[in-house]
C-alpha cells in the first residue's frame, strides 16, 4: 500500500533540537531536564505509560504548554516561547478534533482558509491531500458518515494540507479496534515515507512504537530512560525498567563472583561484558529466545537453563508451555512444530532443558 506524494504537502524536512526541557507544576516535575535531537525527516516515537510526561512534552513542542526552562529549536529557529500558530506544525490529536458541521473537504480546507489561501488553490490542495490519504471522492461526505479509520485519515489530511514543517501526533490510533489500528500503523508509516516530514508520535503502545518508528524515546517520570532504535531497546535494554516495559521479560536471579555471573553452578556466556558493582543481578529472558532442547542433545556453546515442566496448553496456532525456573521464576514458552513434541513427551514435574544463545544473554542489576 503506497501513498501519492504531492508538491502541496511536501516540504524540506527540518530537524528538532530539545535541550534541558523542564516543566513543573508546583513541586511536581512533569518534565525533568529532557533533551532530544530528531533528525530531518525522522520518525521518533515518545513511548511511556500514563503520567510519564510524554503528552506534556508533545504539547510543549507544539506550543500549547510553556516549559519552565530549557529550549526547543526547529532547524535554526528558536520556538520555545512561540505561539502554536507561528510554528508551522501539523497536529493530529487523539480525538481527531474534526468539525461535525463541516464536510470532509471543509475540515481539510480549514487550515488553508485560516491562512488566507485562495479558493482555487484550496480546492487543488484539498484534492491532493485527500488523494494522499486515499480518500478521493469523500470530500462531500459528512464526518458522521465516516468510519473510525476514515476519520483518522481526514485528520491526517488536515494536518498535512498546508505543508507543515513538522508533524506531531498524540496517540491518534488509540480509539480504533485492534485490527484497524494495526492496519493504520502501516499506513501512517507509509505516509511518513512518502512525505518525508519530521514526525514525533506519542504512544503508550510499545508494539505501535516498534512498528512505526525510526527511533523510540522511552520516558518515565519526566525523564528519558533510553533512546534508540526499536531493536536496540528490545535486544539491549539499558536497565531492568526498560527490559520490563518493552516486550515480555522474565528476570532470573544469578550469582556474581570475581566478575563472573553464574546461574546455579554454570558460568554464563554473555554477548557483551558487564560491570558487576552490586550482588543483586538478573538474567533477562525473552521467551522467544529460549529453545527447547531435545532429549540427549549436547549443550554446545549455549547457556543451558533447566526448569520443572508444569503444563502444556493448546492455543490454536501454537502451544503454551509453563515452566518453573530455579529461584521460583515461572515462565511461559510459546511453542510450535518439533518443540511441541519434545515437551509433550515429558511427564508433569520432570526437567525441561532450554538453550539460550549468548547473543541474547543479558545480565542487568
The answer on 271 and 334 residing in a single domain is yes
Q: Among 65-74, 130-139, 189-198, name the most confident range.
A: 65-74
| Final residue of a structural domain among 170, 200, 235 | 235
Average pLDDT over every residue of 234-247:
92
Residue 18: strand pairing partners = 36, 72
Please count the structural domains in the chain.
Answer: 2
Query: Do 263 and 325 contact (CB within 8 A), yes or no?
Result: no
Q: What are phi and psi of 272, to 5 degrees?
A: -140, 150
pLDDT of 3 > 50? The answer is no
Which of 7-21, 170-184, 209-223, 250-264 tops mean pLDDT?
209-223
336 contact partners, CB below 8 Å, separation of at least 6: 317, 318, 319
- Phi then psi for residue 142, to 5 deg, are -80, 155
Give the pLDDT of residue 11.
57
Whether residues 254 and 227 fall in one domain: no
Kindly list the strands in the beta sheet with 319-325, ordered across the sheet, starting from the edge strand earlier in the chain: 290-292, 351-356, 303-314, 319-325, 329-335
For 159, the domain range is 16-235
Q: What is residue 363's predicted lDDT score, i.e. its pLDDT?
A: 86
274 in the same domain as 158? no
Lowest mean pLDDT among 173-182, 191-200, 286-295, 323-332: 173-182
The 8-class DSSP code of residue 103 comes to: B
Residue 9 pLDDT greater than 80, yes or no: no
Q: Report the SS3 class of residue 10.
A: coil
Q: Does residue 339 sit in the same domain as residue 210? A: no
Cβ neighbours, 10 Å, residue 178: 7
- CB atoms inside a 10 Å sphere around CB 138: 19
In a domain, 24, yes or no: yes
262 occurs within a structural domain: yes
Look at residue 52 and tell me if it is in a domain. Answer: yes
At residue 35, the 3 state secondary structure works out as: strand
* Residue 203 and residue 262 in one domain: no
Between 192 and 72, where is the model more confident?
72
Locate cell 480546492: which residue? 123
CA–CA distances in Å: residue 214 to residues 39, 40, 54 = 10, 12, 17
User: What stretches of the chain show up as alpha helix (H) in DSSP?
Assistant: 54-62, 104-114, 119-132, 148-160, 178-195, 206-212, 230-235, 240-245, 338-344
Q: For 41-94, what is each residue's pLDDT tens digit?
A: 999 999 999 999 999 999 999 999 999 999 999 999 999 999 999 999 999 988
What share of residues in the chain are helix, strand, coil (percent, to 5)? 30, 35, 40
Rounded to the nearest integer, the mean pLDDT of the chain is 88
Tell me the percentage of the chain whose pLDDT exceeds 90.
60
Whole-number Å distance between alpha carbons of 97 and 107? 10
- 266-310 pLDDT, tens digit per residue, is 788 876 655 555 556 888 899 999 999 887 778 788 888 999 999
Per the document, the length of the chain is: 365
Is a pLDDT exceeding 90 seen at residue 327? no
Phi, psi of 50 (to 5 degrees): -60, 130
Does one domain contain both 199 and 95?
Answer: yes
pLDDT at 8: 40
110 vs 200: CA distance, rounded Å: 23
Q: Quick one: pLDDT at residue 330?
A: 93
Determine, yes or no, domain membership for 11. no
Cα–Cα distance for residue pair 114/318, rounded to 1 Å: 55
Distance from the Cα of residue 349 to its chain's centroid? 39
Give residue-wise pLDDT tens across range 347-365.
999 999 999 998 888 888 7
Our CA dihedral for 126, 127, 130, 132, rounded to 10 degrees, sits at: -110
The pLDDT value recorded for residue 276 is 52
- Choose one of 235, 259, 291: the last residue of a domain: 235
182 and 119 in a common domain = yes
The CATH number that applies at residue 262 is 2.40.50.100
Domain-located, residue 240: no
Shared domain for 216 and 254, answered yes or no, is no
239 grid coordinates: 536497565
Last residue of a domain, one of 211, 235, 259: 235
**pTM (2 d.p.):** 0.86
Model confidence band, residue 4 (pLDDT cutoffs 50, 70, 90) = very low
The C-alpha cell that represents 114 in the structure block: 485560516
Q: What is the mean pLDDT of residues 312-332?
A: 89
- The pLDDT tens digits of the residues spanning 120-131 come to 999 999 999 998
Taking only the tens place, the pLDDT of each residue in 166-187 is 999 999 888 778 888 888 889 8
Amino acid at each position: 500500500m503506497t501513498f501519492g506524494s504531492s508538491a502541496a504537502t511536501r516540504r524540506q524536512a527540518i530537524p528538532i533540537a530539545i535541550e534541558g526541557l523542564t516543566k513543573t507544576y508546583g513541586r511536581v516535575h512533569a518534565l525533568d531536564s529532557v533533551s532530544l535531537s530528531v533528525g530531518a525527516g525522522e520518525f521518533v516515537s515518545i513511548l511511556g505509560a500514563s503520567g510519564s510526561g510524554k503528552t506534556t512534552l508533545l504539547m510543549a513542542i507544539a506550543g500549547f504548554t510553556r516549559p519552565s526552562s530549557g529550549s526547543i529549536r526547529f532547524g535554526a529557529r528558536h520556538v520555545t516561547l512561540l505561539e502554536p500558530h507561528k510554528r508551522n506544525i501539523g497536529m493530529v490529536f487523539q480525538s481527531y478534533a474534526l468539525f461535525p458541521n463541516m464536510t470532509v473537504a471543509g475540515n481539510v480546507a480549514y487550515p488553508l482558509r485560516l491562512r488566507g489561501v485562495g479558493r482555487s488553490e484550496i480546492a487543488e490542495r484539498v484534492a491532493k491531500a485527500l488523494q494522499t490519504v486515499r480518500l478521493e471522492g469523500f470530500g462531500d461526505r459528512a464526518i458522521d458518515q465516516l468510519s473510525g479509520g476514515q476519520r483518522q485519515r481526514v485528520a491526517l489530511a488536515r494536518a498535512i494540507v498546508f505543508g507543515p514543517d513538522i508533524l506531531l501526533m498524540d496517540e491518534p490510533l488509540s480509539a480504533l479496534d485492534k485490527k484497524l489500528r494495526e492496519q493504520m500503523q502501516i499506513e501512517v508509516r507509509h505516509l511518513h515515507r512518502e512525505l518525508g516530514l519530521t514526525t514525533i508520535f506519542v504512544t503508550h503502545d510499545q508494539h505501535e512504537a516498534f512498528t512505526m518508528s525510526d527511533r523510540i524515546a522511552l520516558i518515565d517520570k519526566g525523564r528519558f530512560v533510553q533512546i534508540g532504535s526499536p531493536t536496540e531497546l528490545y535486544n539491549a535494554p539499558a536497565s531492568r525498567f526498560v527490559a520490563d516495559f518493552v516486550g515480555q521479560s522474565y528476570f532470573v536471579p544469578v550469582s556474581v563472583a570475581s566478575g563472573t555471573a553464574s546461574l546455579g553452578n554454570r558460568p554464563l556466556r554473555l554477548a557483551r561484558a558487564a560491570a558487576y558493582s552490586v550482588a543483586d543481578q538478573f538474567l533477562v529472558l525473552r521467551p522467544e529466545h529460549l529453545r527447547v532442547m531435545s532429549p540427549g542433545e549436547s549443550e554446545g556453546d549455549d547457556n543451558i537453563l533447566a526448569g520443572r515442566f508444569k503444563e502444556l496448553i493448546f492455543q490454536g496456532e501454537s502451544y503454551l508451555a509453563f515452566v518453573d525456573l530455579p529461584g521460583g521464576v515461572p515462565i511461559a514458552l510459546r511453542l510450535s512444530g518439533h518443540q511441541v513434541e519434545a515437551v509433550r513427551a515429558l511427564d508433569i514435574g520432570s526437567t525441561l532443558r532450554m538453550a539460550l544463545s549468548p547473543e541474547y544473554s543479558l545480565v542487568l542489576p
